[in-house]
A and B are shown apart, each in its own frame.
Chain A
Amino acid sequence: MQKIIELHNIIKEFDGERILDNIDLDIYDKEFITILGPSGCGKTTTLRIIGGFETPDSGECLFDGKRINDIPAYRRNVNTVFQKYALFPHLNVFENIAFALRLKKVPEDEIIRRVREMLDMVALRGFEHKNVNYLSGGQQQRVAIARALISHPRVLLLDEPLGALDLKLRKDMQNELKHIQQRTGITFIYVTHDQEEALTMSDTVVVMADGKIQQVGTPIDIYNEPVNAFVADFIGESNIVDGVMIEDGRVRFSGKEFVCVDGGFGKNEAVDVVVRPEDVDFVAPEKGMLVGTVTSVTFKGVHYEFIVDIGGFKWMIQSTDFVDQDERVGISIDPDAIHIMKKSEYSGKYGDYSSFSDELDSLSDADTVEEE
């Protein structure tokens, strides 16, 4: 695949505060790439630099291999779907969508044809003469997408476009956006803080935190092989415990030794161990690799969600088997469900469920460590 946008060592500061710290990112033609991170991580600023609304303090932004740092937004072959849509209130639906074509002085019959095409694509046929101020959020969103796509940009930037919609509509729009992206073959760069949205739609996910890129990969890579505690915690649920790598394939945590499939660490190197809640099986206490006490049970529909106290550390476990609160349980973990990560600045900050429960008393439980 061919690179369409490259960011090299991008640094951006606002009022002396570093928002982007050495961003390096390659974006490939025709891919659906999502920049994912909590608010304030720099994801929107990255998007605005690609769109031409911000200039980086240093570093290079390349489009098709050519430097575009100094090219203004209106001359870039990139269009944007803005947060809260930013439709022109003085123009109706048709004219909002036709805006870019009218600027280019495209002949009237072609404008009509192409606007119709766009209206069909976003299922808004018949809305041509409606006032945009009276449309619902979902309809405004569709107008914004049609308006951005009508001039067939190479790249479409989407800044949390579904943030203002309710859950049901959001799911529908996710599918629709993915569908539109596949049909048009336009590169979508999508910014969101919603990890589920990122996993559902993207070919590539870029996880950002504190102005830095933490990890780039496919949704499956990001979920199964997170590089550090931040990514493991931000994408899905994770139990992250301190461990020691005895040698390749053998790791020690929670006072026990486990077989795993990861390697390449130093002998006796301190590591973070990630176990996803759904990868833990309940067994009889005497057969368990680890033994703990269930402190809370929540019914989630497809499965139950348990918080289990194992040696003072609270694990989240998801299972379809029911175990009652206060029951002692044994747990078993398959070797390939144990993921080992190098220690990072985020170690110890995430992946402990002692404060997860609504009941504050489980917080104090974590302080009184009982050895098994």
Chain B
Amino acid sequence: MKKKSLGGALVAVPHIVWSALFIIAPLLFVLYYTFTSPEGGFTFDNILGLTEYADIFRTSIEMSIIATFCCFLIGYPLAYFIARSTERQKKIFMILLMLPMWTNLLIRTYSMMAILDDGGFLNSILLALDLAPVHIVGTKGAVIFGIVYDFFPYMVLPIYTAIEKIDRRLLEAASDLGCSNAQVMTQVILPLSKSGIVSGITMVFVPSISTFYISQKLGGGTFELIGDTIERQFQSYSTYNIGAAISLVMMILILISLAIMNRFSDGEETAGRLKR
């Protein structure tokens, strides 16, 4: 028994070392910088000064919520469709879904610019067709589009897995008991894929609230997201402390939203009432 637990401890050593070096230590640095001034003295000024960035926080949260919601709207039907396809089709759709993820995010963002820019590919087509060109790059819409494009596979995959797990007989049982097709969806498929929805939302919301590159390129420098602000603070040594303070607040915000999401998925385990 004792020997076994020693072996178990040994297996965990690389993970513990890794966590200490690359997770715990950086977090401690963030904490240290947050509560010190550039000269090294203890201070709350960094945190208190964050009110200046309130607007940027609000925009970031707003845009990541919109982007996550769009991902869900597009992703859920797609996940459902793939889960209901034949085995062969499933493989093809999966490859199509993953394919863009094999390309680097920066390259994808640049190519999106090339397509959507005022003098870009899309507008040359519109002009060639004698249609009015559209101004996309530099708008919030372009940034949301970029976030959705980059992160929506992370929405589709967990939902797909959850829907695929649902026993087909449950759907037959539901229609046997009087569910129309729409009711089978709301009464059985949606509640039973809740765990997938929760992880999908988490996996899209977290990276999109802290994204920075997409907004710089597709936003055309017209507005900033919180990720951009953090990046800028860390570009000069004198503002490390402010960057750390923003990061800390961000982390706390994300932790709170994860806690809320987890409450939802916990609810799934205990059988509850039928929704009306």
Contact = CB atoms under 8 A, between A and B. Distances in A.
A117 B67 CA distance: 49
A74 B172 contact: no
B167 to A, nearest CB: 7
A80 interface: yes
Given A90-B191, A92-B272, A99-B274, A74 B175 contact: yes
Contacts of A102: 274, 276
A289 B35 CA distance: 109
Bin the interface of chain A by size. 20 to 34
B18 to A, nearest CB: 37
Contacts of A74: 175-180, 183
Contacts of B271: 89-92, 95, 131-133
B270 interface: yes
B15 interface: no
A53 interface: yes
Interface string B90-119: 000000000000000000000000000000
B4 interface: no
A51 B276 CA distance: 26
Nearest to B188: A88
Interface in A77-115: 78-80, 82-84, 86-92, 95, 98-100, 102-105
B270 to A, nearest CB: 7
Given A88-B170, A90-B191, A90-B192, A79 B176 contact: yes
Most buried by A among B271, B272, B276: B271
Contacts of A83: 169
Task: Say what secondary structure dominates the interface of chain A.
Answer: mixed
Given A102-B274, A131-B270, A88 B173 contact: yes
B268 A79 contact: no
Nearest to B176: A80
Contact of B169 (A82, A100, A104): A82
Interface string B249-276: 0000000000000000000101111101
Nearest to A132: B271
A91 B187 CA distance: 10
A72 B268 CA distance: 30
A88 B187 CA distance: 10
Given A74-B179, A100-B178, A131-B270, A86 B173 contact: yes
Contacts of A82: 169, 172-173
Nearest to A95: B274
A73 interface: yes
Interface string B25-63: 000000000000000000000000000000000000000
A90 B186 CA distance: 13
A16 to B, nearest CB: 17
A80 B271 CA distance: 22
B177 A86 contact: no
Contacts of B174: 88, 99
Interface string B156-198: 0000000000010110111111111001000110011000000
B178 A103 contact: yes
Given A90-B271, A91-B271, A98-B274, A84 B177 contact: no
A114 to B, nearest CB: 14
Nearest to A147: B177
Contacts of B268: 90
A151 B270 contact: no
B89 to A, nearest CB: 17
A84 B169 CA distance: 9
A142 B270 CA distance: 21
A151 to B, nearest CB: 7
Interface in A13-65: 51-53
Contacts of B191: 90
A88 B268 CA distance: 12
B83 to A, nearest CB: 17
B177 A79 contact: yes
Nearest to B173: A86
Contacts of A105: 276
Lowest 4 CB-CB distances: which A-B pairs, in order? A92-B271, A86-B169, A86-B173, A100-B177
Interface of A: 51-53, 72-74, 78-80, 82-84, 86-92, 95, 98-100, 102-105, 131-133, 147-148, 151
19 contacts: A52-B175, A73-B175, A73-B176, A74-B180, A82-B173, A84-B169, A86-B170, A87-B173, A89-B192, A91-B273, A91-B274, A99-B174, A99-B187, A102-B274, A103-B178, A103-B179, A132-B271, A147-B177, A148-B177
